[in-house]
Structure 1
Amino acid sequence: MSVVYSVPVPQTGGDGETPTRRFHTSARRLIDRVEPDITNVYAALLHGQRTRPDADVLGKRDVLGTVSEDRQAQQKVNGKLESVTKKWTYAKLGPYKWMTYSQIVDYTTSLGAGFRKLGVEPKGRVLIYAPTSREWQLCAFSAFSQSMQVVTAYDTLGESGVLHAMNQAGVEVAFLKADQLPILARIMPDIKTVKHVVYFQDATGAPAAATAAIDKLRERFSVHTIDEVHDLGKANPVERTLPAADDVALIMYTSGSTGAPKGVLIVHQGIMSVAGGIHHFINPFIDYERDVILSYLPLSHVLAFFVDVYCINSGIRVGYGTPRTLTDDSVRECHGDIRELRPMVMLGVPQVWNTIRAGMLKKVNQKGWLVRKLFYGSVELKNALRAHGLPHRFLDGIVFKETQAATGGRLKFVITGGAPINRNVQKLINAALCPMIQGYGMTEASGLLSVQLPDDPSFNNVGAPCPSVEMKLVDVPEANYYARDGKGEIWVRGPSVFRGYLDNDDLTRETVTEDGWLKTGDIGQWTPQGQLTIIDRRKNLVKLVSGEYIALESLEATYKNSLFIHNICLIADSRMAQPCAIVCIDENQIAHLADTAGVAYNDPSELATSPAFIAAVLADLQSVARQNGLAKMETLAAIRIDSELWSPENDRLTPAMKLKRPNISSHNQAKVDDMFAEMGLSE
């Protein structure tokens, strides 16, 4: 008998919509908190102090120094790639050091009092513009201890973005890592409301540029280290002023693939309802006395934030890392964060898992045919055994011992979110590391909307509605998606839904109905077991000349099966019978890929524009299309190659690693025009 993950609510569903569905064990009542008395985020920390005061909860590693090495790299000189010697700098890190619940309560109480001494009142706003770190959370909880609101901005957000967030939200305190201080100094003349700047730094001290920025910032703001504000509060204690459930906790600025970032108003109950929803189904899979999670995704993204809050509430230790120090290859004279912490749970976006998959398969494909056959066969066998509930862990010690050791050997499951994950990536991670569960969420719902259970062996879905929300699908007639077929735009309702966009009532009314339904903009369908499958985003459905629609994000996830590419951005419009694409291939990998494809070249710099290499990559992508059963209208007709890696730093990706389509297209406009000409399209 198959498992049913969600159930319809009786007497719901009308014309143009499916019946409303809820998680199967919370069908009678949506979950709005973990415990009756935990109605705000700071109360979750106090709960931890009451129940386990001396337990470790937040860990960090000190930077002990740096190690420099000379390495050969390819660099463009006069338009050509040449081999040059570059100096690479690696961090040397110490072991994890932990703070207990009691220590964190004491520290955040004093730091919160320090903010009050600076003149910030309850409901005043503190901007956090810093990378993921223990200091990030200490600042947030300190603000919550005095009912202050936290305004978040990605540390990779450009100058215009962070200026927009500060000025629109009217923040009084800007909290930064020392590395961000020069950015603040450059935009200082245009900052309207900030009065105080508070910063933290690594054990090795602030970089020289930050020291110079501090002198400039002091011309207009009072500038303090985090420890100075903590000591100020310790010397001038005040009682904690805890927020109400419906008070705003976060003004979280979405990264946005187009337009200015939007400030999403998230209340304390919204976050705690998500934490309660997680606890409702994850409890059987967690050892709260032993488990530890690695936190390295941006805390300014709702996914990382609500997971941290749940861990702090429930007793799971959180060790902080960075994308630049995760692996042993990225540090020197120490282990990377993963092997040092040896986590039981990790989060990642699809781009992280795509990179891990490519690295694994590159190593496997360098081995003999027998090893390759054993590895690929074992991936299929382990997934098949798991799907039928049969023993499969015996393969770990025989085939997957090396891949699991690279992540510390203790992973129970990993979580992917932010965009669709490719089925083959999920299958490989399931077998070679641990079960991968796919989740679905958005900032406007305080994070989580649905997630697979760790023991769910199925693919191509994002699980059942979280116990904190109910969900239905609504007709999208212009794209031929109808609720009668179990398909439509995903609408959700529940205590985790946000309270609106800051200073944008019109957009709020467009996004949330009068009776509380959040229109996600995503297209979904139900599986027979009540799981949700994301088809695509409504705005990324493109009508071709045939009148039929294709789903760009879904197709991009499929094409990432190709080992040739690092990333891909599909382009389509109503003039076209088939899509084309800009393909991102790292210039440091391009020669190796050309050798693999048997393409001759005199200079690697020629390859990105080589017709033979472009044809080889296109042929591989078209093979991927055939292998995955794509229709002709979904098969790429042309591609061009961008050999510059896309990243948030060059504004091709959002900080959440989603494509910035307009930016990618405009940066490659000549290549887009060339493809259109090849396809016989008029300008």
Structure 2
Amino acid sequence: MNNHVSSKPSTMKLKQTINPILLYFLHFIISLYTILTYIPYYFLSESRQEKSNQIKAKPVRSEPESAYRSVNCLDGLASVLYPGCDTLDKVFMYAKNKFKDKRLLGTREVLNEEDEVQPNGKIFKKVILGHYNWLSYEDVFVRAFNFGNGLQMLGQRPKTNIAIFCETRAEWMVAAQACFMYNFQLVTLYATLGGPAIVHGLNETEVTNIITSKELLQTKLKDIVSLVPRLRHIITVDGKPPTWSEFPKGVIVHTMAAVQALGAKASTENKPPSQPAPLDIAVIMYTSGSTGLPKGVMISHSNIIAGITGMAERIPRLGYVMGEKYGGNLIFKPTEIMDRIYKNVMNKVNEMSSFQRNLFILAYNYKMEQISKGRSTPLCDRFIFRKVRSLLGGNIRLLLCGGAPLSATTQRFMNICFCCPVGQGYGLTESAGAGTITEGYFHSYVIGFVVPNQKELTELARKKGLKGTWEELCNSCEMENEVLKVLSEAAISASLEKFEIPMKIRLSPEPWTPETGLVTDAFKLKRKELKTHYQADIERMYGRK
């Protein structure tokens, strides 16, 4: 998890549009405030600073390349969160016994849907939501136990695969806990996958039962059910669809409530017949298929618990839910793409009066400098950024981002405006991804180095009215842009994804031959030598020089 951005703060400041004399005066006031508050801050934060400076990790071995490990777990990796809880069903049972009547899963009723036109012309669905309906730990346990027992009655056996193709919702978690209890291997498929990818995943895992929603059944599964010959039972989490005649013979559709009722009726004891072992497969998680057909990643119970244990070492408590707050206040904020939040906040800033906008920018840049020095800014947080914080409920203590790269600028912006650390997941979610600290080498777009065909490049230059020697043409920014256009058009016609298309290129006037030391005798790339040779160009294309 990344909670540090190495980009220099000076390169990430917001620009001010204010009279220079007034700007100098404001900077003087800020400097005076900083000096006056530093002394009490130093004494009040001394113990916190000492704690922060404590050694938290040490190398496992004395070698320089040795991995680092928490000082609390130097003798071995922490693999179990609670003693004796080495499988996911035991972890949930532990939580259920400890927090029996506490709230666990909440669902808000959708009262209405509206189309909201964005400034860029795009239309987003805006939902009007009602109050939360809560399930306690005990409620979820009972529903999961009965659902798992009902699946057994439908023929599901331990260590066999069952698929879930459903949106993120409370029923998804209930179904997952049922599978963990009864040692069913849960096959997860993204709800956004296309038909061929879904068919591939279902057939590869040879599932006979699938859990889905009414909407996904009607919009995606209905057209491909006939292509999954082993499928026998479809369980919808939110009621039956209106028509049934289009399904192949032999496929039966049930509701989740009906399966739970079947399980409750058949239940004779309060313990699943086959509990999982730590090395048993808990989940077969399919990727999003960005490089072809989705791939199923097998993850054991011990794998997931070890990942959770590592995170819990640093995040003992993620947050809490305040008392009932409705109306204009937010209870929970639906998941947002952070870059979109960044753009929306900046749009609001640009709509402010000149004085308000420059005050915000001054506070932003001041806080950035203080954060870079390890200091806090309570007055800025309280009086300047309070309204921005309220966009996410006002009590966010930590933001975790995953699923896509987050730019350093956006990460720093969220860190400053929402007054909390912003962690970024980096690595495969499908394998309980590892944590990292950003060192500045990861970027969210591709660059390319092109050794052009001399005849073709010269002809392109002639068409565009550009002249010069071969080296001058290759070093020309205009030619780089023209070649980039040609490459982009070819990439789009080849149906490449956006992240596969170079955003910037460098034309290399010298060929890559073994004599140059950039490739081997078999013309394989020497990546380290290429990186060193083109380091200045890499810095330029990623905006660091």
| TM-score, length-scaled by structure 2 | 0.69
| Separation of aligned partners in 2, 1:5 and 1:636 | 47
Give percent identity, aligned residues only: 23
Number of residue pairs aligned between Structure 1 and Structure 2: 427
Counterpart check, 1:402 vs 2:449: no
- Stretches (4+) displaced over 6 A: 69-75, 86-89, 661-664
Which residue matches 1:440? 425
Matched residue type, 1:666: S
- The residue number in structure 1 matching 2:451 is 575
Q: Which residue of 2 aligns with 1:277?
A: 310
Distance 1:433 1:186, change over 3 A: same
State the one-letter code of the partner of 2:314. Answer: F
Match of 1:255 in 2: 288
String of CA shifts for 1:535-592, please: whole Å, max 9, x gaps. 34xxxxxxxxxxxxxxxxx163xxxxxxxxxxxxx46354369xxxxxxxxxxxxxxx
- Distance across 1 between alignment mates of 2:87 and 2:161: 17
Residues 258 and 361 (structure 1), Cα distance of their counterparts in 2 relative to 1, 3 Å cut: same
Tell me the SS of whatever aligns to 2:204. Answer: helix
Q: Choose which of 414, 432, 444 in structure 2 pairs with 1:429.
A: 414
For 2:267 and 2:426, the matched residues in 1 are separated by 39
**2:58 pairs with 1:7:** yes
Q: Which residue of 2 aligns with 1:109?
A: 145
Larger Rg: 2
Offset of 1:67 from its aligned partner? 4.6
Change over 3 Å in CA distance of 1:74–1:399 after alignment to 2 = closer
For the structure 1 residues 62 and 679, does the alpha-carbon distance in structure 2 shift closer, same or farther, using more than 3 Å as the test? farther
Equivalent residue letter for 1:340:
L
Correspondence for 1:164 among 200, 206, 212: 200
TM-aligned CA distance change 1:87 to 1:393, over 3 Å: closer
- Greater fraction strand: 1
- 2:342 is aligned, of 357, 360, 366, to 357
One-letter amino acid matched to 1:37? G
RMSD: 4.0
SS at match of 1:120: coil
Structure 2 letter corresponding to 1:220: G
The one-letter code sitting in structure 2 at the alignment partner of 1:43 is K
Change (3 A) 1:73 1:173: same
Partner in structure 2 of residue 192 of structure 1: 229
Equivalent position of 1:38 in the other structure: 85
Q: Report if the CA contact (8 A) 2:79-2:305 is conserved.
A: yes
State the distance in 2 between where 1:195 and 1:233 align: 18
Q: How does 1:511-530 map to 2 (within 5 A)?
A: none
Q: Give the one of 46, 50, 56 matched to 2:97.
A: 50
Give the CA deviation at 1:372: 1.9
Q: Which amino acid aligns with 2:94?
A: H
The counterpart of 1:151, out of the listed 175, 182, 187, is: 187
* Partner amino acid, structure 2, of 1:272: I
Whole-angstrom distance in 1 between the partners of 2:206 and 2:492: 29
- Looking at structure 2, the residues matched to 367 and 29 of structure 1 have their Cα atoms a distance apart, in angstroms, of 54
3-state DSSP class of the match of 1:256? coil
What's 1:211 paired with? Answer: 242
Is contact 1:31–1:276 with CA below 8 Å preserved after alignment?
yes
Partner of 2:481: 637
- Confirm or deny: 8 A CA contact 1:347 1:414 kept in the other structure: no
**Does the residue aligned with 2:167 lie in a helix, a strand or coil?**
coil
Bigger Cα displacement from structure 2, 420-429 vs 102-111: 420-429
- Is the contact between residue 340 and residue 408 of structure 1 (CA under 8 Å) also seen in structure 2? yes
What is the identity, as a one-letter code, of the residue corresponding to 1:30? L
Counterpart CA distance in 2 for 1:417 and 1:67 is: 27
Aligned residue for 1:533, secondary structure, equals coil
Residue pairs, 1:219-238, within 5 angstroms: 219-237=249-267
Shift of 1:127: 0.6
Change (3 A) 1:420 1:70: closer
**Cα distance in 2, alignment partners of residues 5 and 640 from structure 1:** 49
Which amino acid letter does the alignment assign opposite residue 262 of structure 2? Answer: L
Compared with structure 1, are the counterparts of its residues 59 and 160 closer, same or farther at alpha carbon in structure 2 (3 Å cutoff)? same
User: What secondary structure does 1:58 align onto?
Assistant: strand
CA deviation after TM superposition for structure 1 residue 93, in Å: 1.9
In the TM superposition, 1:605-644 aligns within 5 A as 637=481
1:413 corresponds in structure 2 to: 398
1:384, CA displacement in angstroms?
Answer: 2.7
Q: Distance in 2 between matches of 1:137 and 1:668?
A: 32
| Kept in 2: contact 1:404–1:433 (CA 8 A) | yes
Gaps of 5+ in 2: 1-49, 454-474, 510-545
| TM-superposed deviation, 1:73 | 9.7
Measured in 1, the distance between the counterparts of 2:352 and 2:115 equals 29
Cα shift readout 1:484-509 (whole Å, capped 9, x = no counterpart): xxxxxxxxxxxxxxxxxxxxxxxxxx
In the superposition, relative to structure 1, how do residues 341 and 665 fare at CA in structure 2: closer, same or farther (>3 Å)? farther
Cα distance in 2 for partners of 1:120, 1:186 equals 24
User: CA offsets, 1:70-111, max 9 Å, x none?
Assistant: 979999xxxxxxxxxx99864332111111111111111100
